[in-house]
Amino acid sequence: MAFACLPALFLAGCMVGPNFKTPQASVAGQYRSIDGTLPEGAPNDPEWWHGFNDPVLNKLITLAYQHNLTLQQTGVHVLQARAQLAAAVGELYPQQQAVSAAYEDSTQSHASPTHIPGAQVNFQDLSLGLSASWEIDLWGKYRRAIQAQNANFLGSIDAYDAALVSLTQSVAQTYIAIRTLQEQIAVANANVVAQQESLRIATVQYNSGQTSQLDVEQAQTQLNITEATVPTLRAQLVTQEDALAVLLGMTPDQIVPLVGRSAPIPTAPVDVSVGIPKNLLRMRPDVKQAEEEAAAQCADLGVAKAQLYPALSLSGTFGFESSNANGASLGDLFKWSSHTVSIGPSIQIPIFNYGQLTNQVRAQDAAFEQSILNYQNVVLKAQQEVEDAIAAYIEAEKSVRVLTAANASAQQSVKLAMIRYVDGASDYTTVLNAEQAQLQVQNSLASAQGQVPTALVQLYAALGGGWQIAKGHDVVPESIKADMAKRTNWGGLLTPQNHAAPATKGEQIQQTYVPSW
């Protein structure tokens, strides 16, 4: 194999190791959970939160995009990966370069003209030179390393997009949870008011001698139980508000003024389409990230295989030397007659550590196979998440319809039970049971009303929507780049075009892309 590559030595050299191809993955033809309920047309606006027509939600998503610290950390990682790519490209040039200068003051013993032994002669040597060593990329070791770093760089961009999908989902679901808890607190408070009236009626009935004290005690017990649910709900509300503060990169005291203390639960849009499963491979950043990770590992396998072959290097020095010995002068340093040149090849052949290098190749091959399996697993999980979200959305809508009807019946039952109780046609147990059922139904209805938009948000995130909000914007805020520029000379890498993806998202990105400085 080595002889076959020799003619291409000074052109491009050989590239040992496999060339990456997108692994095969099992993708269903359609979502089984739809069953005609949701259309399979093109997905809705990728910035799906606008479909809820909730200005507060829109504002929260924007604030999270601008201030979330985890997202900013992921964006800075893109810069790190880009710098590592540039460093890998630098390995194509002479790997070792040095400018050297030396001065030597020597004393030697010589026989003097008067034949006095032990005469001392002093002279100085001065040298200045440039040396370089370049390992020729004969087997593609450095070019494979560039491919690996390029895939890591592109994967870091996909990781940023995946973080955006997760962030928009978390903000929306936390906001919906806040609105749901506010509604449940309102339901509990409304039932407290209603049960206070029931207690008043039971007390009046008891004072008039029409009922026993048991009715009063039962009414008081039910009232206390309902009142006890409010602190628990308020504690849960504070927890969600605090979680939202972290997502927005804010302190907890800033959330209530943003969200408010009461507003309707966001209503899911009527028109929801989910596309087809193969769209996941184009839309979901985590699927593309898994593909880039496999590509990077494939290239690392090539790097490991290249270590098995002889390494050919060219080393050379050029400089000037002068000495004041034998009547010469140190001032002759830069005369052409004082120049020195040395150049020559060297070859390193792995012999005694060949078994060690072979096992390193095996380890890299196993890692590559793991990355392939991981990609296939990510594709399957992506389909699972969509299927689960579709089922949750459809069933939550069914629950809302059923519970809405149940709530109307529960309210009517309470009215009728109270009328019968006042008329003496039934005891207070009937009222108590009706009030308990009403509270349970109304609380469940509020929860289900929150589950519908929550499931829809989960569905939008599973379809890969949300990262598109970053289009036209840099992955790192200007304030952070300014701080980094003060500490370190980043050259042109902080300029967006020098660390952005080399192709439009959704298109195939060439693994051999080597960006400019």
Round to whole Å and give the CA distance between 76 and 14: 35
Q: Residue 515: its pLDDT value, please?
A: 36
Residue 510: is its pLDDT beyond 50? no
Using DSSP bridges, classify how beta strands 311-323 and 339-348 pair: parallel, antiparallel or unpaired: antiparallel
Task: Answer for the pair 72, 476: CB distance below 8 angstroms, yes or no.
Answer: yes
β-partners of residue 312 are 347
What does the pLDDT look like over 288-304, one tens digit per residue?
999 999 999 999 999 99
14: confidence class by pLDDT, cuts 50, 70, 90: confident
What the block records as the tokens of 212 is: 């026993």
Q: Residue 246: its pLDDT value, please?
A: 97
What the block records as the tokens of 496 is: 């967006």
Other CB atoms within 10 A of residue 320 CB? 17
β-partners of residue 100 are 129
Q: Which amino acid is at 130?
A: L
Note the helical H segments in 12-140. 55-67, 69-90
- Residue 322, classed as helix, strand or coil, is strand
Task: Answer for the pair 63, 248: CB distance below 8 angstroms, yes or no.
Answer: yes
- Of the candidates 142, 148, 177, the one whose C-alpha atom is nearest the C-alpha of residue 60 is 177
The dihedral built from the CA positions of residue 56, 59, 61 and 63, taken in this order, carries a sign that is negative
What does the pLDDT look like over 93-113, one tens digit per residue?
777 778 878 877 776 655 555
CB half-sphere exposure, 300, CA atoms < 13 A: 19
Round to whole Å and give the CA distance between 428 and 417: 8
Concatenated DSSP letters of 380-403: HHHHHHHHHHHHHHHHHHHHHHHH
Task: Answer for the pair 110, 122: CB distance below 8 angstroms, yes or no.
Answer: no
Calculate what percentage of the chain has a pLDDT beyond 70.
87
Round to whole Å and give the CA distance between 391 and 287: 22
- Of the candidates 246, 209, 332, 255, the one whose C-alpha atom is nearest the C-alpha of residue 67 is 246
Lowest mean pLDDT among 245-259, 332-346, 479-493: 332-346
Round to whole Å and give the CA distance between 493 and 485: 10
Task: Assign 3-state DSSP to the chain and report helix, strand, coil percentages, each to 5.
Answer: 60, 10, 30
Task: Answer for the pair 450, 183: CB distance below 8 angstroms, yes or no.
Answer: yes
Round to whole Å and give the CA distance between 239 and 247: 13
Concatenated DSSP letters of 47-61: SGGGGG--HHHHHHH
β-partners of residue 323 are 125
- What is the end-to-end Cα distance of the chain in Å, rounded? 35
Q: Which amino acid is at 272?
A: V
Q: Residue 197: its pLDDT value, please?
A: 92
Q: Residue 138: its pLDDT value, please?
A: 87
Round to whole Å and give the CA distance between 33 and 387: 6
Mean pLDDT of the chain: 85
- Of the candidates 252, 247, 255, 258, the one whose C-alpha atom is nearest the C-alpha of residue 64 is 247
Round to whole Å and give the CA distance between 80 and 494: 11
**Average pLDDT, stretch 451-476?**
90
184: confidence class by pLDDT, cuts 50, 70, 90: very high
**Average pLDDT, stretch 324-346?**
74
Round to whole Å and give the CA distance between 131 and 342: 9
Residue 314 host element (H or E): strand 311-323
- pLDDT top residue among 186 and 97: 186
Give the distance between the most distant pair of CA atoms in the chain. 147
Round to whole Å and give the CA distance between 317 and 313: 14
Lowest mean pLDDT among 178-192, 318-332, 456-470: 318-332
Q: Residue 7: its pLDDT value, please?
A: 42
Q: Which amino acid is at 234?
A: R
Q: Which amino acid is at 367?
A: A
**Average pLDDT, stretch 181-203?**
94
Helix 428-462 and helix 354-422, axial crossing angle in degrees, nearest 10 = 150
For residue 474, count CB atoms less than 10 angstroms from its CB and return exposed for 0-12, middle for 13-18, buried for 19 or more.
Answer: middle
Q: What phi and psi, each to the nearest 5 degrees, are found at residue 24?
A: -70, 140
Residue 428: is its pLDDT beyond 60? yes
Q: For residue 98, give every residue at least 6 positions away whose Cβ sits within 8 Å of its Cβ, in sequence order, or none.
A: 130, 131, 132
